[in-house]
Amino acid sequence: MQAELQRLRADIGRLEQARRALEAQLAGSVAPSAPITTSAELQATLRRFLKQVGLIVQAEKCVIMLYDEETGDLVATSPALGISDEEVAKFRIPATQGISGQVFREMKPVLCHDAMSDPRTVNEMSALLKVRNSITVPLVAERKNAEDMVVERKTIGIFHAYNKRFAEGFGEEDVALLKSLARNAAAVISTAKTYIAVADEKRELEHTFQSMVSGVMVVSGEGKLRLMNAAARQIFGVPRGDRLGGRLQEVIFNSDVEDLVNNALTSGIENIRELSIFTPEERVFQVQTALLRDDDQQVSGVVTTFNDITELRNVERMKTEFVSSVSHELRTPLTSIKGFVRTMLDDSEGYYERDMQREFLGIIDSECDRLVRLISDLLNVSRIESGRSLELSLKRVNLPELIERRVESQRSYTSRHEFVVHCDDGFPELVADEDKVDQILTNLLSNAVKYSPEGGKVTVDARDCGDTVSVSISDEGIGIPPEHLDKVFLRFHRVDSMDTRQAGGTGIGLYLVKHLVDAHRGSMEVTSEVGKGSTFKFTLPKTQPEQEGSTE
């Protein structure tokens, strides 16, 4: 009775198998009609294939192992049938070992009726996957020529089907079925891998092309715009979705660029030029054309690149202006010094009395101070520029006294300004670099005077804020336009107006002030209204980390 039942089961299994085989034949191969270009498509196709194979040969589990040329291993791949992803991840064996290795090397199927006792199996994996019996066939990819003749044959891996259902084990008819199915699968896998590699490469190139900072566009030999990356689209205001393919002049409206491209196409002249392009604000680009040639060296198009050099040109311009303003700032006090010295030297008759001479010497002295300040500013800028930090020489500083001294010296330069100083009572000493705080105050105070040519009140307000102290210096001068407020601390930046030009300057004062405040781990802010005046406020901590408790 038991034996009868078993035979019946086997018959049903065989019938089922035959029916599925027929179905598979009717359905054609596993090869999909359109080429597979993504890993996801390949996975979906393999999943269908494994399910089909499982039904046709009545296997509980199926897995594909692909040969890894780098390690020389056969590596199980997902998806598999009846095997979890974790088990698949563990399943890799050298192509020299076990039944897998034998099938791979010999390119012949192998049947195994009792996996656990078969000496050829790699037992560990058989136990893990609970393999009772198996059939393994090679995955051989064939390359055919135009006459459909096989010109190359390559084993790309192997295919395992495990644990025959409804019967003791796999038989020869399963081998035949699996061999032909595996041939299809190998063809699909190897073609898909090639397509995926090409598609991946294409995607990578596309991403690189699109994320380039420089604008790039390609124009065909017929003058049609073929490609444009995101940066180029932005330069010429071509929306992302807009299709290309039209003539260049229909898409970008810039005769200089057209001339450059046409010149390359018609005369074969590759060129490099600096062009101003409105994007919509005016920017300077270095535009370069390079010819594209086909295999026969015929010109097939032009690649044009656009590098935005606006900032570079701005810095160059600012540097030139800086050199001329520094020369001016150096010459002014020197002219004055020279004038007064000459006057006294030429005064052989003693025309100028002692008081007058002292006044001249006083002017010479303050002009010398001005020169020393400018030179020390320049030296500090070069220190910062070369990446060296501004070292602090810390000591206890009496800020109200320092403020008073600096205000006094400013008073002596101007009669048009009124100076008002507010200082909190019992103002504490702070630990700082006195010369540098002096430089901060001098720069801010001299700016307050310089940029209020009509005179007015200059107010200094010093406050004790607990862990920090703050000093604000306000004037009633020309003020700063809002769009310049965050730029005045940049090196060489000057607001360009009649008043500032007349005032003279180098554009490094506030840049330095900011760095000197930063070196003390302080902060800096500015508020201003054009025509009403400006307030510069800096805040410094009362102590500095390295020197806490160890100052003079």
Q: Site residues (CB under 6 A) for ligand ADP?
A: 447-448, 451, 475, 477-480, 488, 493-495, 500, 505-511, 534
User: Rounded to the nearest whole angstrom, what is the least distance from the CB of residue 502 to ligand ADP in the complex?
Assistant: 11
Q: Concatenated DSSP letters for 357-402?
A: HHHHHHHHHHHHHHHHHHHHHHHHHHHHHTT-------EEE-HHHH
Specify the residue, 506 or 539, whose C-beta has the smaller distance to ligand ADP: 506
The C-alpha atoms of residue 380 and residue 42 are separated, in whole angstroms, by 64
Specify the residue, 419 or 511, whose C-beta has the smaller distance to ligand ADP: 511
User: Rounded to the nearest whole angstrom, what is the least distance from the CB of residue 454 to ligand ADP in the complex?
Assistant: 12
| Tokens encoding 534 | 């400006």
Residue type for position 310: T
User: Rounded to the nearest whole angstrom, what is the least distance from the CB of residue 540 to ligand ADP in the complex?
Assistant: 19
Specify the residue, 342 or 487, whose C-beta has the smaller distance to ligand ADP: 487
Buried/exposed code over 497-515 (b: 16+ C-beta within 10 A; e: otherwise): eeebeebebbbbbbbbbbb
| Tokens encoding 102 | 């034998």
Specify the residue, 511 or 538, whose C-beta has the smaller distance to ligand ADP: 511
**CA 423, 429, 432, 437: dihedral to nearest 10 degrees?**
20
Specify the residue, 506 or 544, whose C-beta has the smaller distance to ligand ADP: 506
The C-alpha atoms of residue 340 and residue 127 are separated, in whole angstroms, by 105
User: Rounded to the nearest whole angstrom, what is the least distance from the CB of residue 522 to ligand ADP in the complex?
Assistant: 17
Specify the residue, 67 or 489, whose C-beta has the smaller distance to ligand ADP: 489
User: Rounded to the nearest whole angstrom, what is the least distance from the CB of residue 510 to ligand ADP in the complex?
Assistant: 3
User: Rounded to the nearest whole angstrom, what is the least distance from the CB of residue 372 to ligand ADP in the complex?
Assistant: 16
The C-alpha atoms of residue 67 and residue 266 are separated, in whole angstroms, by 52
User: Rounded to the nearest whole angstrom, what is the least distance from the CB of residue 457 to ligand ADP in the complex?
Assistant: 13
Nearest residue to 428 via CA among 479, 464, 467: 464
Specify the residue, 333 or 505, whose C-beta has the smaller distance to ligand ADP: 505
Residue 541 near residue 465, CB atoms below 8 Å: no
Specify the residue, 126 or 325, whose C-beta has the smaller distance to ligand ADP: 325
User: Rounded to the nearest whole angstrom, what is the least distance from the CB of residue 530 to ligand ADP in the complex?
Assistant: 9
Q: State the burial class of residue 490 (Cβ atoms within 10 Å of its Cβ: 0-12, 13-18, 19+).
A: middle
- What pairs with residue 220 in β-bridges? 301
Q: How far apart are the first and last CA of the chain?
A: 109
